[in-house]
Structure 1
């Protein structure tokens, strides 16, 4: 028995059974991902209810993505330092409080502020990945990672599906009341049933790298999200993008020189890490942009020459098979990875999504064509997300599990923000009958997503063939500048390895 397994067993108590822990983590991740997307099909309704314009209402989604992009890596790193279980309780509490404020909000800016608070829930993904690695038996770890990762994709699609019935039956405020109850219960369950995590490092938090990371992410995503409204060649947008570039360079320099870096740049250069991050960014590009605009496409009246005049609920029903497919394939991903290797599974998943989006661009005259394509896309996303988490975690030491997986989830959000902005720019640039977007804009947009997925497949070919969750121990990445706890010294001792 390995030293890591002995330490895990010595910590486990009856309340910390891994199956119970998995159930709590699944609920927490599902709540976060649902909140990510449930507002997408009802932004127009929120604009009417809050008496504001559509551009301002869009910040209900943008603010959430901005906050999650910043909080995901930060809370993952804090969890590595102070304990993942403690930070997961804090994260769930922030989601619950943010949901309460959003449900009670009567002003658009109060709602946007509540969404910023909800964005702290981004930490649930890296913290969950880290807890699984710390607490789960080796035979169950890969499957648990695959299912939790797949929930990130499934939750986004399900959020769009359930938004219509909730709004029709209860009102849009219940898009926040229901998650508030679930996340509050998840916080309590985490405190009582998830075992306390080992603290891998006792050190000060890297404040300057955190500020710089937040700075360039805010500047980048703000510039991208407002580019269509302000003009891509306008001084504010160009200034934000230039500032993002400068701050990003400064962040990398500081991280490389910091005695206690927030993100070890040598870790980010590991092949399993950088390939997973690039693929995750491309897939996020496709997922957010497609599901952000497919409901709009489906809800367009047929008098425009395309579309089906679907209601919010009907458009959700059309996309439901995609969510089901993504969830079901999550259970089969781990066996496929063990049999074929992560590289083959991820390449297959990205090519499936490329075919799906390409077919939507060409064939979209019948509802069954949309259902078939989005179902294929759901299968592809499930394969990719269910594999990437294991590749990243297997490529880094246990002390960096939280921040590495958090950065991967964060890059997915950044890719989604870029994708949404690009899709919006393409679609709104083509105006058709009655001021509605022209069909050609959607065709070009979905074709661009298909191209992005082909690029993702090319990058996925560089994923380590036998590393990660296929069974071979990854190369160690140890930082001599870190102060590692005694237990970690034993795990990272010469001749030992940290694997999944």
Structure 2
């Protein structure tokens, strides 16, 4: 008789954690189709609004390992509630934003929500029966694609029929509902561990990444050889070098960079950097492309925000089909072949987008290859390869590093392609061709990295 209440309690726990994951997944993509509308209202140009993506990803990359360690110290479910509250606070600031800097700050606060997924996974491992764990992980992982699809479609409807501010009002409601679910149905995580937080490492990482992104975003306006841009590049590189040296000397580093001596780790992470770059670059480029007026920009379809979301929707829904297929293929032939296949298909999609984006079907086909099929195979394979390439005790550190590397790649990618799109001083077809071509070339460079990944032994 006790089995039924336990199953019901487990079901409520899984539903609450899935809702928390869905809140992040929806808001991560929801702002992307609205970027042109935000640019029209608040100004800043394409380079300015690109920081709405970069600020979100930067705070995710830096805050996630810190929040994960805080979860080990004070309880993962408590930290998950705090992260959801921060996520809602960022939504409130965004809903009330009257300037681009204010909105960028709101997105930076929402970026703390990147810790929702790893915290939810860790709670599931701690409190659920082993037989229920695969279901929980599958449902939470599935929210990334489903939530993204919901986000891009809902964004268009809200922006076209109300205002982009409505996106952020929804960004308040979803995490608040998730907080109620976590408080009511998620039991305390039994794991407690006293660890030290590497605050210096977090500051050095931020101090290295922000100048590099600022140099990329302002290079066109200030001049790539100008003293400010050269100084930002040099300062960022030196700070990142200092961060690596600092991390090597810590017993409990923010990110264990020693793992990069493992070929199974550094090859997959190098490929993940390229994948993250093109993932967020494509998320930025496609809405910008399709919403341009061809009469003035020489490119685009003069699409509404709703129509821009529908351009990305088929690719995101394809992930629901190809995700299980990628997992099945990885289990049968290993994850290396799906990774190679995924990166090659992504490169083909980027090539199509680079040289054929004058017709709507070309954009649909390119995003389906690059985003829906190729990305799904590549993302599924990288996770499997990282987990299989390190000892069990280092799984958390290795997956955390992989998440950070992919996120940093995305933050850099959104800024680089923005600079390429406006490389001639104005948005043009040539700029989009150049941006998509750079993404394709980067993926081709990732192919030998994928080929160098060692085949993990079956355990």
Q: TM-score range by the shorter chain?
A: 0.7 to 0.9
The gaps in structure 2 that reach 5 residues or longer are none
Query: Match of 2:328?
Result: 335
Q: Of residues 244, 248, 251 in structure 1, which corresponds to 2:243?
A: 251
Query: Are the counterparts in 1 of residues 335 and 381 from structure 2 also a CA contact under 8 Å?
Result: yes
- Tell me the C-alpha RMSD between the 2 structures: 2.9
1:277 is aligned to 2:275? no
Query: Match of 1:294?
Result: 286
Q: Any idea what SS the aligned residue of 1:182 has?
A: helix
Query: Match of 2:225?
Result: 233
Equivalent residues, number: 453
Change (3 A) 1:218 1:134: farther
Change (3 A) 1:144 1:123: same
TM-score, normalization: structure 1?
A: 0.81
1:120 is aligned to 2:112? yes
Q: Of residues 349, 353, 357 in structure 2, which corresponds to 1:356?
A: 349
Give the stretch that moved more between structures: 293-302 or 152-161.
Answer: 152-161
Instruction: Give the distance between the partners of 2:79 and 2:387, measured in 1 at CA.
Output: 19
Change (3 A) 1:100 1:256: same
Instruction: Give the distance between the partners of 2:36 and 2:394, measured in 1 at CA.
Output: 41
Query: Are the counterparts in 2 of residues 153 and 381 from structure 1 also a CA contact under 8 Å?
Result: no
Quote how far apart the aligned CAs of 1:14 are: 5.7
The Cα offsets for residues 396-416 of structure 1, whole Å up to 9 and x where unpaired, read as: 456654443233222222111
1:380 is aligned to 2:381? no
1:310 is aligned to 2:303? yes
Give the stretch that moved more between structures: 295-304 or 245-254.
Answer: 295-304
Q: What does residue range 30-429 of structure 1 map to in structure 2 within 5 Å?
A: 30-50=22-42, 55-134=47-126, 145=137, 148-149=140-141, 151-152=143-144, 155-156=147-148, 158-199=150-191, 201-303=193-295, 304-377=297-370, 378-396=372-390, 400-429=394-423
Instruction: Give the distance between the partners of 1:142 and 1:412, measured in 2 at CA.
Output: 24
Instruction: Give the distance between the partners of 1:133 and 1:274, measured in 2 at CA.
Output: 26
Instruction: Give the distance between the partners of 2:450 and 2:138, measured in 1 at CA.
Output: 17
Instruction: Give the distance between the partners of 1:237 and 1:102, measured in 2 at CA.
Output: 30
Instruction: Give the distance between the partners of 2:380 and 2:139, measured in 1 at CA.
Output: 6
Query: Match of 1:8?
Result: none
TM-score, normalization: structure 2?
A: 0.88
Query: Are the counterparts in 1 of residues 319 and 373 from structure 2 also a CA contact under 8 Å?
Result: yes
Change (3 A) 1:234 1:160: farther
Change (3 A) 1:133 1:345: farther
Query: Are the counterparts in 1 of residues 26 and 148 from structure 2 also a CA contact under 8 Å?
Result: yes
Q: Any idea what SS the aligned residue of 1:40 has?
A: coil
Give the stretch that moved more between structures: 190-199 or 364-373.
Answer: 190-199
The Cα offsets for residues 17-55 of structure 1, whole Å up to 9 and x where unpaired, read as: 2x5444333333332233233223323432443466665
Instruction: Give the distance between the partners of 2:315 and 2:16, measured in 1 at CA.
Output: 24
Instruction: Give the distance between the partners of 2:77 and 2:126, measured in 1 at CA.
Output: 11
Change (3 A) 1:298 1:55: closer
The gaps in structure 1 that reach 5 residues or longer are 1-11, 474-500
The Cα offsets for residues 467-492 of structure 1, whole Å up to 9 and x where unpaired, read as: 5xxxx34xxxxxxxxxxxxxxxxxxx
Q: What does residue range 474-485 of structure 1 map to in structure 2 within 5 Å?
A: none
Quote how far apart the aligned CAs of 1:139 are: 6.6
